[in-house]
Amino acid sequence: MTKIIALSLMLALSAPDADKLEKTAIDTIEKVEAGFFRTKTFSADFMQVFHDTAIGEERISTGTVIMAKPLKMKWHYEKQYEQMIYSDGKTISIYVPKDKQVMVEPIGNIVGSRSPILFLAGTYRLSELFYVNLEQEENNVRMGGTVRLVLIPKEESASVTKIVIGVNKEDWLISSFSLYDWTNNRTDVFFTNLKTNIGIEESIFIFNRPKGVEQVEMPRLDFGVE
């Protein structure tokens, strides 16, 4: 896929008010980007729903997340089963207490220079990594009136073929997102109790391996690595 830093608005240009729609889309995208770039840290409760299209099942997980730019995070999955994902900006650690195992990998082995998740790091603008579509208003009604943007990665990736983000109109912060893979499986993540630009100790993103916990090789993941 050609690496062109441009904004592709996939709108119905045949509509009579196409120019107005395009301006609305550009304004919305700029507001979303501005809101995201203002956010340096955040914490939230989350609910994650994985939709397995092959067997028609859903798996629901809940927990808490803390993030800081660039690429520092701690996801604590509390239900259905406990696991923790740490990133200190250099390495990613996935810890499963029940199995007494942790998988550790340098972040550069997972995140490529054009990875879709780099938008979360605040390194790139939406239009640099994605082809962006403002979802039409009638579809927004079912999401409680939030603005929804459809993002198609410019770099091909098996793990992320499409991202749909939900944004609150009041503060232009991301309240939810959905990830689609090449099999059309979907993972929905919804944030509640969101707090932004709070003070966070750097130590919270560092995984200290407990005694008796084995370090094992991490399966190869694809987040848009070139």
pLDDT digits (tens, 9 = 90+) for 69-87: 888 889 999 987 899 999 8
Place of tokens 């770099």: 155
User: Which residues contact residue 218 at a Cβ distance below 8 angstroms, ignoring those fewer than 6 apart?
Assistant: 92, 94, 103, 104, 105
pTM score of the predicted model: 0.76
- At residue 21, the pLDDT reads 43
Q: How far is CA 73 from CA 69, 90, 110, 134, 182, in A?
A: 8, 11, 15, 28, 26
Question: Which domains are seen in the chain, by residue range?
Answer: 19-216 (2.50.20.10)
- At residue 204, the pLDDT reads 93
3-class DSSP state of 150 = strand
Residue 203's pLDDT band (boundaries 50, 70, 90)? very high
Residue 32's pLDDT band (boundaries 50, 70, 90)? confident
User: Which uninterrupted H or E stretch holds 148?
Assistant: strand 147-153
CB 122 within 8 A of CB 11: no
- At residue 84, the pLDDT reads 92
The mean pLDDT of the chain is 75
Six-digit token string for 198? 């709070």
DSSP state of 120: G
Look at residue 20 and tell me whether its pLDDT is greater than 90: no
Diameter of the chain measured on Cα atoms: 66
3-class DSSP state of 211 = coil
CB atoms closer than 10 angstroms to residue 185: 15
What span, in angstroms and rounded, lies between the C-alpha atoms of 154 and 118? 13
Look at residue 4 and tell me whether its pLDDT is greater than 50: no
User: Residues 58-79: what's their mean pLDDT?
Assistant: 90
The phi and psi torsions of 35 (rounded to 5 degrees) equal: -65, -40
CB 153 within 8 A of CB 160: yes
CB 29 within 8 A of CB 132: yes
What span, in angstroms and rounded, lies between the C-alpha atoms of 65 and 74? 6
CB 185 within 8 A of CB 53: yes
Say if residue 101 is preceded by a cis peptide, omega within 30 of 0. no
Of the ranges 74-78, 107-111, 135-139, 188-192, which one carries the lowest mean pLDDT score? 135-139
Say if residue 80 is preceded by a cis peptide, omega within 30 of 0. yes
pLDDT digits (tens, 9 = 90+) for 113-166: 455 555 555 666 777 778 888 876 544 444 456 788 888 888 776 678 888 888
